[in-house]
Chain A
């Protein structure tokens, strides 16, 4: 991994303890992790292992009990709510498991939302939103409301919304959790393509082995500790899955098979 030299996210000695009454729940024990620019990093682990907790803290949605998180050399755990909101607006995109589109708004309005907060003029942001909807293959669904779309389509709107502001980092908590395998594979293709285009960093929490196939780095977490980190050569994913799938040499089933083989 020579190309990804710059560290974008650096987690040092991170610990998170939840207190419920007198009881303590140690969600994360001691996490040290570096994620480089342009990397697609997958955090893999069983339920309750602390994946979401780690992701939320990296996204600045939760404060660590101990340790520090540097994003672009800034310690985000020291920021105020106000600073964090601004920081997220400029640097971070977020994809949710349950899509979380605003139900009153159309696809195009949902995608344009982050741009509204940045104060981008309407004409410009609609153009941008349309471009991103086309990129996720929803060029014909601009004016559909979330309820008029399938889960896979909604998640693609969610992806367009996360990428539309070209943030340096996109966080995704189980983005394929509610989707079937084939749709999951399509969604991962889209995310991979988009991230590579602008050299964006993606951190994905998942327990889908298919999703993990698309990662440059797989971080295995168990009981709040990193168990192993697997790194792949830069073009590995492209050569093995992206290109063959796009050129129809392999099918979704082949990818599923590869995923179960990898386990």
Chain B
């Protein structure tokens, strides 16, 4: 056995840096990335691509904000800009570095996009060492060359390294400060913060959105309604490791838990759970299989016990109050008993 694993490890070592840890390299990439992946179109302005060094073109585009340019460069545009310039092995940071390089080439300090009139300020004084004072449009624009949480220095912006921070600074008075922007959801592996973008295998991994766009969406968690996806047979996860035909025998037994106070009562449905889980996943370690025998509270759930073993980690999260608290208080009064909604359905 040992010799076999040594063999594998040697194999791994031979196939290059595949598994060795190495520091992420970001510095000085902007120009290199441009030359390799963008110059093809942007050097000569092919197909309407804004040319390198064309100040007029770039300043017009910059009015939409550097963040918009980043987004166009990463995701592509309908007018001919391919996602990541067609080189999908580039990381988001590399593409942004190339954008910075092109923007700088067209006149150094790009004007901030903080347009008076309340648009979201996506400041962009990237790489500029000039004082921004005197330009009214700059007011309120935090220097983008620093992470947003640093104190903004209103006048002198330190020259940014060409590897720029992952996110452009956001207007402190933005309408939604904490709500995650839709674009930041379900990021592809190379940009999700836990995968190493320097890993050569990264681009073999499937970006979640590629899969999720065919599934019913939800508001939280993976933003997929897994119950509906399964119900409509849009996904067919196996019930048995080796036998694709095996079917679960879901148990249709609802347990109503009356809740003190004003929140609607909790209906715990066995059916949706036994579609995914075995009885022994819950009984008896998490719940004694007897109605009312378990003390459940929101505090326990938030601590990761009871329903919180799965909900909030893998199944839909706790913020979706109404999926659990689904029964109005004034509903018919048989609420104390377990409700056999039907006998086991199959």
Q: Do A and B bind each other?
A: no
